[in-house]
Chains A and B, each alone.
Chain A
Amino acid sequence: MRNQLILWVCCLWILSGWTPAQAAVAVTAQVDRTFVSPGQSLQMQVKVSGDSGEVDLSPIVDFKVRSLGTSSSVQIVNGRMSKEVSYNYLLIPRGKGKLTIPPLTVTVAGQSHRTEAITITVSDTPPAGRQGVAPDKEVWVTGELSEKNPYTGQQITYTFRFYRGVPIDDAKFQPPGFKGFSTQEVEDRHSYRKIINGREYAVTEVYFILTPLEEGEWTVDPAVVNVGVLRRRRGGGRSPFDDFFNRSVVEPRVLQTKPISVTVRPLPPLPPDRAFSGLVGRFTMTAETESTHLAVGDSATLTIELQGKGNIADAQHPDLALPAAFKSYADNPEPEVVADRNGVSGKMVFRTALVPVEPGRYVLDPVRVTYFDVDKEAYHTLKVQLPPLTVVPGASPDSQPLTVTPGTLPLLKKRVDFTGRDILPPKEGLAAIQPHKPMGWPLFLVLLAAPASIYGMVVITQRVRRPDTSAAAVMKGRARQALKRAASARTDEAFLSSLYQALTAGIFSAAGRSGEALTWKEAESVLLENQYSEEDAAAAAKLLAEIESTKFGGQTLPDGRRKTLLDETRTMTRKLAP
């Protein structure tokens, strides 16, 4: 019940014609097309926002005018009501060429308001674009700089505008190259509607804050937009299903702005008695201390606020010339900076804790910051005088820091920031052009493999040259040794003993086993067992028997026999143990 009552009150309030926005009457005239063929008509709408009015159509001579009625609308936004009345007309051209709808006078509440003139083109040539709009005026882009002759470091705004008079699809924006500038894009883009020559366009603006880095002639390259213009399919006419099923074709278009030349001027020479802060723009400064009466060891905060429009974010802590009886502790700067279509503005707050170490009355030097004023085109020094500080002795000994003389004042460490940026110089020595050829991977692998290969060869060699420890080899060695002894023996006994040892060792080597002594019978059978011919076995057995009999018979060897016996034994031994 209560809700119904409120609803009725609202309706009556609206119907009563209460128009709080009466003071803001706006009158516009717009047409549905600006390009028609002879015999075609167009519609004109005169909108009166705020109240109803009376439209004087008598100035229109190039067109026949028929009324299509009136419509009105009421909007309540955020508790504010606004009313708009639209007067609709059908215009039929009376001729060809450029025809004009002159400014129309609309009388609202006794006051006269005028619309803008609208030019209509009537031609036999069918319009190429949609809804009678020339293609170059369906969608277009512009780029604009707020200042074409800025100073180095002065912030300027590049505004990109995208005008759309027809539906579009899938627009892609490529910002221009800003060579010679540091760039910051403003996050907030601005969209609005604008009537141009009686036609309504949607406009989107994109902003970039540019800061010239160096003096000279620079060019802002074109910004490019790739856009698809939606067109209804030709042929077959339009049906209600066209919109529902999005039966349209996309005509790709590439739009670009014109390049803009910029002449960046250098900053004028700095007056000799001033220190430039690097700030370019328009700034103000305030400074204040938390307290002017302090005790030794207490802390008072000195707050310096630097604010304005320009490169405020680059502001450094102003230099403070403090008496030696103060310690200072600087906080990190607190930036409050915003970037909008008008540029970068805001403030930087610098806080410094001042701690007196000696009582007394101190007059602090003013805080000075010199910046370049872009409006006055001159350096300007901001100066704020700080109030004198009175320092009394601390209440307790603990609260009093040691008295520090200026010469022994402890150094306050502070983070070192860059005060300027540049690169280090080139390396000028001719050594810089000495070619340095890196090692290729094949050579690298060869160098890796070489030591391993050498090691491998050594191992193989060692293995090849390792002594044979088999029984056959051992016995063969003994046979060789015994033969050497026999050759150098001085007595017959030693000679025969050595021959016996050489021959038995040779036989054992042939058999592949070890042993010390053999009878001639055993020797023959051993050799036969090891696949030696009967002839060889018999010869060996005979030789062994002869040596044994000579040795144990105590006979003296005749001349020449010693040599032949040695040769026969050597030959047999080599045959058995080659």
Chain B
Amino acid sequence: MKKGVLILVMILWPLTLPPAGQAQENAHRFIAAMKAYKSQDFGTAIKEMEQIAQSGVRNGAFFYNLGNAYLKDHQLGRAILWYERALKLLPNDPDLRFNADYARSLTRDATDEKTVSPWRVFFFWKYRLSQSTIVLLAVIFNLLFWSMLLVRRIFHRRGVRYAAIAVAVPAVIFMVTALFNYYEKAYIHHGIVLMEQVSIRSGLDQTSTELFVLHAGTKIRVVKQNNTHLQIRFGKDKIGWVEKEAVGLI
């Protein structure tokens, strides 16, 4: 039985890894993209890196590079979109934060929400740590907690009880945060306006009343969506419909 499981794992494990040929092709494309970037040919750099992105590469540093290329190519909306995607993976990268701040300073729409919300201050770890880090911490603290309970159970060490309680607090915090992150990823979507200027309308038709206008790089929250349109919210009180092509989901 054990031998069968082992063989199954050995068969399935390579399927989870990227094909070697794909990795080599991505490496060639990446080198070409960096070369084009240095020679100010940002269009080529974008084209090569988009191909890599379509192959499924998910890496904060790579998203940062793509944001840089778009910003240099004067595509502010797509630049901020890739910076936001990178920030989810590398929230503390100083280069990324610097460039993202600079890109945001070029946007034209001012939000009426506070720059630093109490939510962000109180739940600082959610915004300062990447989602992978939070998941890892939750698993580690959870493992520590149950290990301590086990030690207490088997060896009857009473002092372990207080250590277990101390470990339980961060374990619960990181578990809840990780679960919220999964929920947020599945159900709460944000997007970035890609087009230079886009009208947010009261309905799905072009003849619907234009409610307000947003510009490239503005971050919005997606309330709901259908095949062609997104219902978006901007700020506290602005809500309306926009074509899907005008917004990139983070």
Contacts and interface: CB of A to CB of B under 8 A. Distances in A.
Interface of A: 172, 174-175, 177, 179-180, 183, 221, 226, 252, 421-439, 441, 444, 447-448, 451-452, 454-455, 458-459, 462
Contact of B64 (A426, A441, A447): A426
Interface in B16-49: 16, 18, 26-27, 30, 34, 37
B18 A435 contact: yes
A144 to B, nearest CB: 20
Contacts of A451: 142-143, 145-147
Interface of B: 16, 18, 26-27, 30, 34, 37, 52, 56-62, 64-65, 68-69, 71-72, 74, 89, 95, 98-99, 102-103, 108, 131-132, 135, 138-139, 142-143, 145-147, 149-150, 153-154, 175, 178-179, 182, 196-197, 199, 207, 210, 213
The prevalent SS among residues of B at the interface is helix
B199 A426 contact: no
A226 B58 CA distance: 42
B196 to A, nearest CB: 4
Contacts of B154: 458
Contacts of B26: 433
17 contacts: A183-B108, A423-B68, A423-B98, A424-B95, A426-B37, A429-B61, A432-B61, A436-B58, A437-B58, A438-B131, A438-B132, A444-B139, A448-B139, A454-B150, A455-B146, A455-B149, A459-B153
Given A432-B62, A433-B52, A433-B62, A447 B197 contact: no
A428 B35 CA distance: 10
A172 B212 CA distance: 10
Contacts of B65: 426-427, 432
A426 B149 contact: no
Contacts, number: 109
Contacts of A437: 16, 58
A177 B197 contact: yes
Nearest to A214: B74
Given A426-B64, A454-B150, A455-B149, A432 B59 contact: yes
B56 A435 contact: yes
Contacts of B138: 444, 448
Contacts of B57: 433-435
A117 B58 CA distance: 70
Given A427-B61, A452-B146, A458-B150, A433 B99 contact: no
Contacts of B58: 435-438
Contact of B135 (A432, A444, A454): A444
Nearest to A170: B209
A172 B74 CA distance: 27
A441 B132 CA distance: 11
B64 A439 contact: no
A130 to B, nearest CB: 22
A557 B196 CA distance: 113
Contacts of B142: 447-448, 451
Contact of A444 (B30, B146, B178, B207): B178
B68 A455 contact: no
Contacts of A183: 108
B113 to A, nearest CB: 23
A172 B200 CA distance: 12
A174 B153 contact: no
Contacts of A462: 153
Contacts of B199: 174
Contact of B30 (A177, A432, A435): A432
Given A444-B139, A455-B150, A179 B68 contact: no
A427 B95 contact: yes
A403 to B, nearest CB: 43
Contacts of A180: 74
A426 B68 contact: yes
Nearest to B22: A435
A346 B26 CA distance: 54
A462 B152 CA distance: 13
B89 A436 contact: yes
A25 to B, nearest CB: 46
A434 B95 CA distance: 19
A456 B199 CA distance: 58
Contacts of B197: 174-175, 177
Instruction: Give the 7 A-B CB pairs with smallest separation, nearest first.
Output: A451-B146, A177-B196, A432-B61, A426-B65, A427-B61, A423-B99, A441-B182
B132 A436 contact: yes
Contacts of B74: 179-180
Nearest to A429: B61
Contacts of A421: 102
Given A431-B59, A447-B139, 20 more contacts: A179-B196, A421-B102, A423-B98, A426-B64, A426-B65, A426-B68, A427-B62, A427-B65, A435-B56, A436-B59, A437-B16, A438-B131, A438-B132, A439-B135, A441-B182, A447-B142, A448-B175, A451-B143, A454-B150, A458-B153
Contacts of B108: 183
B72 A423 contact: yes
